[in-house]
Chain A
Amino acid sequence: MSETAAIDHSADVYEPSLTPDSQGKLGMWLFLISDAMSFGALLAAYGAIRAGAAEWAPPSEVLGINLTAFMTFLLICSSVTMVKALEAIQKGNQSRMCTFLGLTILGGLIFLGLQAYEWTALIKHGLTLNEIPHEGLSGAAISGSKLFGPTFYTITGFHGAHVTGGVIYLIVILIQGMRGTYTADYNHKVEILGLYWHFVDLIWIMVFTFVYLL
Chain B
Amino acid sequence: MEHSDKEHPKYFRIFWILLALTIAEVLVVIPDWIPTSVKFILLIGMACSKAAYVALYFMHLKFEQKTLTAIALTPFIICVFLVFMLLPDLMTDARNAEEAKAETHAVDTSH
Instruction: Tell me the A residues contacting B by CB distance below 8 Å.
Output: 18-19, 26, 29-30, 32-34, 36-37, 40-41, 43-44, 47-48, 51-55, 60, 65, 69, 72-73, 76-77, 79-80, 82-84, 87-88, 91, 191, 194-195, 198-199, 201-202, 205-206, 208-210, 213-214
Contact = CB atoms under 8 A, between A and B. Distances in A.
B19 A76 contact: yes
Contacts of A30: 71
**Secondary structure call for the B interface:** helix
A73 B68 contact: no
Contacts of A18: 64-65, 67-68, 71
B90 A51 contact: yes
Given A18-B65, A202-B51, A209-B44, A69 B22 contact: yes
Nearest to B39: A214
A69 B24 CA distance: 11
B82 A195 contact: no
A33 B47 contact: no
A76 B53 CA distance: 11
Contact of A40 (B25, B44, B75): B75
29 contacts: A18-B65, A18-B67, A19-B64, A19-B68, A32-B72, A33-B72, A33-B75, A36-B76, A37-B78, A40-B82, A44-B82, A47-B86, A54-B100, A60-B29, A65-B29, A69-B26, A80-B12, A83-B11, A87-B4, A88-B4, A198-B55, A201-B58, A202-B54, A209-B44, A213-B25, A213-B26, A213-B28, A213-B43, A214-B39
B23 to A, nearest CB: 8
A40 B15 contact: no
B58 A198 contact: yes
Secondary structure at chain A's binding surface: helix, strand, loop or mixed? Answer: helix
A159 B82 CA distance: 21
Contact of A198 (B26, B29, B59): B59
A19 B60 CA distance: 12
A96 to B, nearest CB: 9
Contacts of B94: 51-52
Contacts of B55: 198, 202
A53 B12 contact: no
